[in-house]
Amino acid sequence: MALRIGEIAPDFKAESTQGIVSFHRYVQNHWAILFSHPSDFTPVCTSELGMVAKLQVEFEKRNTKVLGISAGTLESHKRWIVDIEETQETTVNFPVIADPHKKVIHLYDMIHPFFSHTETIRSVFIIGPDKKIKSILIYPANTGRNFHEILRMLDSLRLTSVYEVATPANWEYGQDCLVLSGVKDEELATTFPKGFKILKPYLRTTPQPN
């Protein structure tokens, strides 16, 4: 059965390019992103792992650990990382999980049989410090992911997990947010000391609280 937002992310133990990963223990009190790749030594995947490596500082700023995964072997991953670092001019300093028997891949339903019976699609699971799945993104094999959008999603998830706000279409960090409908008008001044605007009874905005 496919995983859903709000479920506890399944725990697992697997080999990776940085040693054995026990997933829940690895996440600890961090946010985490687990993202799959159809196979090693492929052009789109090479560009994606390179981009994640270049954005590693941004993930660290957000208290977030990233893990890649594909059905390749550990030795295949290690050889591939040499190519990634050479061609993408970066250093891959996050774990890439080796899952040749597809145990984790099936646990997270990363194979969609109408696409392929053997290769994963490009799944992205964003997982909170409570180990619950906060977001699931799915891309086809021939479309590389926009990791800046994934960072934007992460910013929204982190913000809305703490404050009584939602983020509007195309929101970016630092822009105004939307007040949740559960906040009463008489509570606005104390809940949002930076100010607020009432555009409609159901449409209220406030500067980003943090």
CB 171 within 8 A of CB 155: no
Predicted confidence (pLDDT) per residue in 24-42, tens digit: 999 999 999 999 998 899 9
Query: What stretch(es) of the chain map to CATH 3.30.1020.10?
Result: 165-206
The angle subtended at Cα 149 by Cα 84 and Cα 134, nearest 5°, is: 105
Do 136 and 110 form a contact (C-beta atoms < 8 A)? no
Q: What is the pLDDT of residue 114?
A: 66
78-124 per-position pLDDT tens digit: 999 999 999 999 999 999 999 999 999 999 988 776 666 566 778 99
Q: Which fold has domain 13-145?
A: Glutaredoxin (3.40.30)
> For the packed helices 43-54 and 74-88, what is the interaxial angle rounded to 10 degrees?
70
Q: What is the pLDDT of residue 118?
A: 62
Q: What is the pLDDT of residue 117?
A: 55
CA distance 55 to 124: 16
Q: In which residue ranges of the chain is CATH 3.40.30.10 found?
A: 13-145
Taken in order 160, 164, 170, 172, the sign of the CA dihedral is negative
pLDDT of residue 116: 63
What is the fold, at CATH topology level, of the domain defined by 165-206? Answer: Antioxidant, Horf6; Chain A, domain 2 (3.30.1020)
Q: Which of 34, 45, 67, 126 is catalytic?
A: 45
45 is catalytic: yes
